[in-house]
Amino acid sequence: MATSPAEATGPAATTLADSGPLTVPSFQDLCGLYFEFVWKCARAFGSKSDEIDDVVQDVFLVVQRRHPDLKEGEHARSWIYSITRRVVSTHRRRRRENDARGAPDVDSLRSPEQSPLAAAERQREVRILSALLDGLEERKREVFVLSEILEMSGREIAETIGVPMNTVYSRLRAAREDFDAAAQRQRKSLERRRAL
């Protein structure tokens, strides 16, 4: 595939990757083209910052092993997406078991390159976002994440998850309503606590 990894870092790149001739990309091409996609998906579907390296590497480990299974004409993004969801789900299951044993939430330890105040505020927002995403029904979360966080178009989402465009849009509408309502409930709850 002619697209270099450097060109394939945003949502536009995933379009480029999947709208060209549907030949089977090499493993190295897949790594370059879908690294960011896999990372963002994993984070948005619940992988914490302290496990994201493991999750991304596990996804590409499975991609490498199953590469012969990727057929000409098949959408690589859709194939990688399903692998990513499965790997994230496995990690989350194990994480829940660990959390039940009292493991700390290491996500809160992340130190971005911002002022301490801005970093703390951003961490708070990300924790709220993750909690609200966890609260969405799974199918709504899926289209919400792909549309709002990964900024994919309706057509791209339809291709990736294998449902008609109308279904994508109806799920997205419902997901936005649910997310918005939850965000406003969260804000009111915060205001009440600050008023006390």
Which positions touch another protein (CB under 8 A)?
5, 27-28, 31-32, 35-36, 39-40, 43-44, 49-58, 60-62, 64-66, 68-69, 71, 83, 86-87, 90-91, 94-95, 97-98, 106, 109-112, 122, 125-126, 128-129, 132, 148-149, 151, 169, 172-173, 176-177, 179-180, 183-184, 186-187
Q: Closer to another protein by CB, 38 or 161: give it.
A: 38
> What is the DSSP-derived secondary structure letter of residue 147?
I
Instruction: Give SS3 for 50.
Output: coil
Answer whether 33's CB lies under 8 Å from 76's CB: yes
Element (H, E) at 161: helix 154-161
Q: How far is the CB of 196 from another protein (least distance, A)?
A: 20
Residue nearer to another protein on the CB measure, 18 or 50 = 50
**Burial tier of 119 (Cβ tally within 10 Å: 0-12, 13-18, 19+):** middle
Query: Shortest Cβ distance from residue 122 to another protein (Å)?
Result: 6
The smaller minimum CB distance to another protein, of residues 97 and 137, is found at: 97
**Smallest gap from residue 44 Cβ to another protein (A):** 5
Minimum CB–partner distance for residue 20 and another protein (Å): 21
Residue 152 in tokens: 């994919």
In the complex, least distance from residue 74 CB atom to another protein, rounded to whole angstroms: 9
> What's the CA gap between 115 and 97, in Å, rounded?
34
Helix (H) or strand (E) holding 83: helix 76-100
Closer of 19 and 106 to another protein (Cβ): 106
Number of neighbours of residue 3 by Cβ within 10 angstroms: 15
